[in-house]
Amino acid sequence: MIKVVIIGDGYAAADLVRILYGHEKVQIVSVTSADNVGRRFSEVYPSLTGMADITLQETDPSQLKKQGDVAFLALPHGLSVPVVAELIEGGVRCVDFGADFRLRDVNIYKQHYLLDHERPDLLQEAVYGLPELYREQIRNTRIVANPGCYPTGASLSLVPLLQNGLISTSGIIVDSKSGVSGAGKGLSQTTHFCHVNENFKAYGVGTHRHAPEIEQELSVAAGKQVNITFTPHLVPMNRGILTTAYGELRKGVKPHEIREAMEDFYQGERFVKVLPHGVYPETKWVYGSNYAHIGIYVNPDNGRVIIISAIDNLTKGAAGQAVQNFNLMLGLDEGMALQSPGLYP
């Protein structure tokens, strides 16, 4: 059995425990917390009663590196770097849910997270954990930077088109709507029931921290700098992200080439499903699953390309993708514990 430690006890950690409970190669040996030390994990999340009765402990890397083979870190930004540094020195491979290893440029990290990166040398080693793009690199790394939930939906929608030079690198718009669990477990006025219920709003307009992460991956795909307009929205639902990405056909590109490129790119991919012509995804179709559904529309008159993707922000956007990365790192079947379809209705 592969011994796993989980650092953090927020919503993503809860979804991770839910998934790993069904993983035949995993033993969860410890889960840590800042606020619930001494309580059973199943007290914090009663849905996991009988499956996760482990007692939450403090985060002590010196002890954790003696207990686990792999660590999942579900911590706020800025807290993962020293923990990861100590764990990998002890031979523990790490999957980090946070932002500390996603951005390759330390200056961009400081600009958006207002922190100096403590270990820029480790950024050279860390691999961005989107398996559909970096599968082989993930197999051989000690550190996986699990992508943000918004960048997962946006990158899956646009990378194939930019990589194949089918859409312009300018004028790209990414419009995303997320369920409230994307804000995390902490209480705030903006996620209070009275604020969210019967309401729909944009937030982080022009300033959201996921924008540079999306631009980074799109720029790699395009082979040149890509700047986007990214606007996230908060929707009164628990979980899920629907992303609508807009681009322009490059001169000489035919509308049918968009669908052909998407289908070719994701041919054989287990967790990305390109939907038939005229079918557009809904968040409920992927609820609780590690799948991404993608719909395609190209306006032949004005060359506007519209790609719509749906993921579960806590699963393909966090814990499920982390397990997908874990499976790759350990040489296991990539889909272990992740085969369940979305819960519907």
The model's pLDDT over 208-239, given as tens digits with 9 standing for 90+, comes to 999 999 999 999 999 999 999 999 999 999 99
Counting Cβ atoms within 10 Å, is residue 197 exposed (0-12), middle (13-18) or buried (19+)?
exposed
What local confidence, expressed as pLDDT, does residue 120 receive? 95
| pLDDT given for residue 80 in this prediction | 97
* Collapsed DSSP state (helix, strand, coil) of residue 13: helix
User: DSSP letters of 45-103?
Assistant: SGGGTTT--PBPB---HHHHHHH-SEEEE---TTSHHHHHHHHHHTT-EEEE-SSTTT-
At residue 313, the pLDDT reads 98
Q: How confident is the model at residue 186 (pLDDT cuts 50, 70, 90)?
A: confident
Average pLDDT over residues 108-121: 94
Domains of the chain, by residue range, sit at 2-125, 150-315
> What's the CA gap between 217 and 219, in Å, rounded?
5
Q: Which residues are catalytic?
A: 149
Average pLDDT, the chain: 96
Provide the 8-state DSSP code for 236.
Answer: S
pLDDT of residue 187 exceeding 80, the answer is: no
Residue 189 — very low, low, confident or very high, per pLDDT cuts 50/70/90?
A: confident
Q: Tell me which CATH homologous superfamily contains domain 150-315.
A: Dihydrodipicolinate Reductase; domain 2 (3.30.360.10)
Q: Which CATH superfamily is domain 2-125 in?
A: NAD(P)-binding Rossmann-like Domain (3.40.50.720)
- In the predicted model, what is the mean pLDDT of residues 296-300? 97
Give the pLDDT band of residue 185 (cuts 50, 70, 90).
confident
pLDDT at 152: 98
Burial class (CB in 10 A: 0-12, 13-18, 19+), 63: middle
Per-residue pLDDT band for 94 (boundaries 50, 70, 90) equals very high
| Spatial distance between the Cα atoms of 235 and 96, rounded to a whole number of angstroms | 26
d(Cα 73, Cα 95) in Å, to the nearest integer?
A: 6
Looking at residue 92, its pLDDT comes to 98
Residue 127 to residue 159: CA distance in whole angstroms: 17
